């Protein structure tokens, strides 16, 4: 209704609860400045609400959505870094001979460095600009997928994301492409007559280390989520070290298998070929495993994470809250819920109390500087009591008080941090003029996604059981039972029924739309992963070509060499798939439990897909990258050696 008509209705009387809200929208800087100004002039009873500080159920869902998108960005960046490093390594190997000839013709080291740096800077800028243009086009798809969350026209993107894209592209270039390319200036002219002379070893380690640190810092900054970034980067760093160690151990085990088992000639040759090139074999195996691990993390494991995300907000979560049920109405109220076949519902006492002292020291608004803490002590808490730990609550510190306890309490971890309360502190509350106190013996973590009745502070019944109280209930009401709310209010006219179905539907809508956005972004991660696989297999193409020419000159048939090559790819893919499945499963579990805060169910899908996918990708990528090896005339190859 119009505000001018409110007074004539006489709805606002003594004791009425009335709230006024001012909604503000505008440019980010204007809203930020206005919020800072208002925050310095708030009076008692006033507060600032925002999307970040809104309902815990919606806020948790939006936080998880942001972490999923950050995860996709991080994985794509890391795969791109690996692909750039492998491609630069092959570029360096292919230009050794040409660089040696140029050195013999008098070209200086500085001139060589400027030539190669200029080439890579141009390529890097062109690639980064192309990526920025593709990202700008992609954001329109995001608007279509996520824009319905806000029924307003979104503004044009600023230039900041474009700058981030350019910086990431240049850091990728500087950290992972330039170290091996810069080494070309050290190629000895004697390589023209001695092909065994290569690059000095270890010269690019410092460059890689600096590039890795810069890349990690830049990706964490661009992703905007330190927790997800740290877990993902840490998981991939640990996976890289463990995969390298496992690949070397596996090579030693294959040596024993080659000599001790009765294997086909193709398999013996394949295993021997892997052991002749231990460094290349390890690089290829680790690169394929890392790339496949990322693909698994955003395909099979992503499906598990999304399923767990959906399960975190169950379809039968409570969507009706009933408050102000009087103690004498408890039996009749629960009986009515039972007749409506609502057998699963929450029902708990609720007592209003104001925090007045912590460890016998009075507290008030002036005690705290934090805005959230000031609001908490300026209003009454909803307290409750029970002997049993409520469902959807988990004790994370201390112990839950048992039956018969007195003068103890349990507090929610978020509010404990806000107020600076810790185990052993004594809290005193004023309940309708009666002071009650209890010592904090446990800190609980609440499952806000469950939509069940939750309390920040819970006492034993012996402390609060006799104080003035009402009861609160929560239950799930189906679409066909909407008439039950009217009957409930008619039978209990003093109660208030709150329909939270709108919040629940909003949470589900956010989940569904963000999942579609993540699946769309997966296309880019898949493309980066395939580039890694292709670059890893292509890195040994020249050596394989020379080896095939020698063997064909010695009488080996094309069929024998093809079978041996395929057997080698199967062995590499099998090992890489096992390592990738293990790494994806471990990283998925850590992300689910530590970053997204929901349970993760282990399944065999990641292992089946990892091992099978590793073999298939190695075979397909090997054929695609090395299909021309057998087509090279042996005579031409031998002349080039």
Give the pLDDT of residue 225.
Answer: 63
**260 and 362 belong to one structural domain:** no
Find all residues with CB under 8 Å of 299, minimum gap 6, and list them: 522, 526, 609
**438 and 456 belong to one structural domain:** yes
Q: What does the pLDDT average to over 444-460? A: 85
Instruction: Decide if 495 is inside a domain.
Output: no
Q: Which two tokens stand for residue 636?
A: 């031409």
Domain range enclosing 575? 57-312+506-640
**376 and 233 belong to one structural domain:** no
Task: Report the share of the chain in percent with pLDDT over 90.
Answer: 14
**544 and 572 belong to one structural domain:** yes
Is the pLDDT reported for residue 446 higher than 90? no
Name which of 314-328, 538-552, 611-625 the model is least confident about. Answer: 538-552
How many angstroms separate the CA atoms of 3 and 6, rounded? Answer: 5
Give the pLDDT of residue 408.
Answer: 93
- Asked if 202 and 44 count as a contact pair (C-beta separation under 8 A), the reply is no
Q: Single out the residue in 475, 491, 523 at which a domain terminates.
A: 475
Long-range contacts of 111-118 (CB under 8 A, 24+ apart): 112/184, 112/185, 113/182, 113/184, 113/185, 116/181, 116/182, 116/184, 116/185, 117/178, 117/181, 117/182
Instruction: Decide if 500 is inside a domain.
Output: no
Give the pLDDT of residue 469.
Answer: 92
Give the pLDDT of residue 423.
Answer: 93
**39 and 66 belong to one structural domain:** no
> Residue 356 belongs to what H/E stretch?
strand 345-358
- What is the length of the chain? 641
- Asked if 392 and 454 count as a contact pair (C-beta separation under 8 A), the reply is yes
**594 and 545 belong to one structural domain:** yes
Q: Single out the residue in 434, 452, 475 at which a domain terminates.
A: 475
Angle between helices 501-538 and 605-626 (to 10 degrees): 40
How many angstroms separate the CA atoms of 592 and 420, rounded? Answer: 28
**557 and 461 belong to one structural domain:** no
Total domains in the fold of the chain: 3
**241 and 262 belong to one structural domain:** yes
Is the pLDDT reported for residue 459 higher than 90? yes
- Asked if 280 and 307 count as a contact pair (C-beta separation under 8 A), the reply is no
Instruction: Decide if 33 is inside a domain.
Output: yes
Give the pLDDT of residue 56.
Answer: 56
Q: Which two tokens stand for residue 1?
A: 């209704």
Q: Which residue has the higher pLDDT, 144 or 58?
A: 144
Q: What does the pLDDT average to over 46-59? A: 65
Give the pLDDT of residue 39.
Answer: 81
Segment 325-334, tens digit of pLDDT: 999 999 999 9
Is the pLDDT reported for residue 639 higher than 60? no
**443 and 302 belong to one structural domain:** no
How many angstroms separate the CA atoms of 403 and 460, rounded? Answer: 8
Instruction: Decide if 335 is inside a domain.
Output: no
Give the pLDDT of residue 470.
Answer: 92
Segment 466-508, tens digit of pLDDT: 898 999 999 888 777 778 888 898 889 888 888 877 666 766 6
Give the pLDDT of residue 350.
Answer: 93
| pTM, 2 dp | 0.55
**284 and 374 belong to one structural domain:** no
Instruction: Decide if 498 is inside a domain.
Output: no
Find all residues with CB under 8 Å of 604, minimum gap 6, and list them: none
Closest of 215, 204, 213, 206 to residue 180, by C-alpha: 204
Is the pLDDT reported for residue 57 higher than 60? no
- Asked if 562 and 630 count as a contact pair (C-beta separation under 8 A), the reply is yes
Instruction: Decide if 482 is inside a domain.
Output: no
Is the pLDDT reported for residue 574 higher than 90? no
CA distance readout (Å), 293 to 46, 47, 296, 526: 50, 46, 5, 11
Segment 311-329, tens digit of pLDDT: 656 667 788 889 989 999 9
Task: Report the share of the chain in percent with pLDDT over 70.
Answer: 70
Q: For 475-500, where are the alpha helices, taking DSSP H only? A: 483-491
Q: Which two tokens stand for residue 555?
A: 């009488």
Is the pLDDT reported for residue 443 higher than 80? yes
Q: Single out the residue in 14, 32, 56 at which a domain terminates.
A: 56
Instruction: Decide if 336 is inside a domain.
Output: no
Instruction: Decide if 491 is inside a domain.
Output: no
Confidence band of 200 (pLDDT split at 50, 70, 90): low
Is the pLDDT reported for residue 85 higher than 70? yes
**248 and 390 belong to one structural domain:** no
Find all residues with CB under 8 Å of 534, minimum gap 6, and list them: 621, 624, 625
Segment 147-187, tens digit of pLDDT: 555 555 666 777 777 887 888 788 777 777 777 777 777 77
**434 and 303 belong to one structural domain:** no
């Amino acid at each position: 209704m119009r505000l001018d008509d409110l007074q004539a209705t006489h709805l606002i009387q003594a004791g009425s609860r009335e709230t006024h809200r001012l909604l503000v929208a505008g440019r980010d800087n204007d809203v930020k400045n206005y919020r800072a100004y208002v925050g310095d002039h708030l009076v008692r009873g006033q507060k600032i609400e925002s999307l970040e500080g809104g309902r815990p159920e919606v806020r948790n869902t939006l936080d998880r959505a942001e972490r999923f998108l950050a995860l996709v960005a991080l994985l794509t960046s890391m795969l791109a870094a690996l692909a750039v490093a492998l491609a630069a390594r092959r570029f360096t190997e292919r230009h050794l001979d040409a660089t040696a000839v140029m050195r013999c013709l008098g070209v200086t080291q500085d001139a060589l460095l400027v030539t190669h740096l200029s080439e890579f800077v141009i390529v890097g800028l062109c690639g980064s600009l192309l990526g920025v243009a593709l990202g700008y086009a992609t954001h329109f798809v995001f608007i279509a997928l996520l824009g319905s969350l806000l029924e307003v026209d979104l503004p044009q993107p600023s230039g900041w994301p474009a700058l981030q894209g350019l910086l990431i592209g240049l850091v990728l270039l500087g950290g992972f492409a330039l170290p091996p390319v810069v080494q070309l200036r050290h190629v000895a002219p004697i390589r023209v007559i001695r092909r065994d002379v290569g690059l000095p070893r270890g010269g690019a380690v410092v460059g890689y280390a600096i590039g890795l640190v810069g890349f990690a810092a830049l990706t964490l900054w661009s992703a905007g989520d330190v927790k997800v970034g740290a877990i993902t980067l840490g998981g991939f760093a640990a996976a890289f070290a463990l995969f390298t160690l496992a690949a070397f151990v596996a090579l030693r085990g294959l040596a024993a298998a080659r000599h001790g088992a009765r294997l086909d000639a193709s398999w013996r040759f394949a295993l021997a070929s892997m052991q002749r090139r231990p460094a290349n074999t390890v690089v290829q195996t680790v690169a394929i495993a890392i790339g496949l691990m990322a693909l698994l993390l955003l395909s099979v494991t992503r499906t598990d994470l999304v399923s767990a995300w959906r399960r975190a907000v169950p379809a039968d979560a409570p969507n009706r809250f009933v408050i102000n049920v009087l103690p004498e109405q408890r039996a009749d109220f629960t009986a009515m819920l039972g007749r409506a076949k609502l057998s699963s519902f929450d029902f708990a006492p609720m007592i209003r109390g104001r925090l007045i002292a912590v460890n016998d020291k009075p507290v008030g608004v002036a005690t705290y500087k934090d805005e959230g803490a000031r609001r908490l002590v300026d209003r009454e808490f909803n307290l409750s009591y029970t002997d049993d730990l409520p469902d959807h609550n988990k004790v994370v510190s201390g112990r839950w008080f048992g039956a018969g306890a007195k003068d103890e309490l349990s507090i929610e971890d978020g509010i404990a941090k806000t107020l600076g309360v810790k185990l052993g502190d004594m809290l005193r509350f004023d309940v309708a003029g009666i002071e009650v106190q209890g010592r904090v013996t446990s800190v609980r973590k609440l499952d806000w996604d469950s939509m069940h009745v939750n309390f920040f502070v819970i006492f034993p019944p012996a402390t609060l059981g006799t104080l003035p109280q009402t009861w609160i209930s929560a239950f799930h009401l189906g679409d066909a039972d909407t008439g039950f709310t009217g009957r409930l209010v008619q039978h209990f006219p003093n109660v208030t029924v709150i329909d939270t179905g709108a919040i629940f539907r909003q949470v589900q809508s956010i989940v569904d739309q963000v999942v579609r956005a993540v699946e769309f972004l997966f296309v880019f991660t898949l493309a980066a992963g395939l580039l890694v696989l292709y670059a890893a297999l292509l890195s040994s193409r020249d050596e394989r070509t020379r080896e095939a020419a020698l063997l064909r000159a010695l009488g080996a048939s094309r069929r024998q060499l093809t079978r041996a090559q395929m057997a080698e790819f199967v062995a590499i893919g099998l090992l890489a798939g096992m390592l990738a499945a293990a790494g994806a499963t471990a990283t998925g579990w850590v992300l689910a439990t530590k970053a997204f805060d929901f349970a993760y169910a282990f399944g065999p899908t990641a292992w089946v897909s990892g091992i099978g996918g590793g073999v298939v990708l190695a075979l397909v990528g090997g054929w695609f990258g090395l299909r021309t090896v057998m087509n090279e005339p042996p005579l031409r190859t031998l002349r080039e050696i």
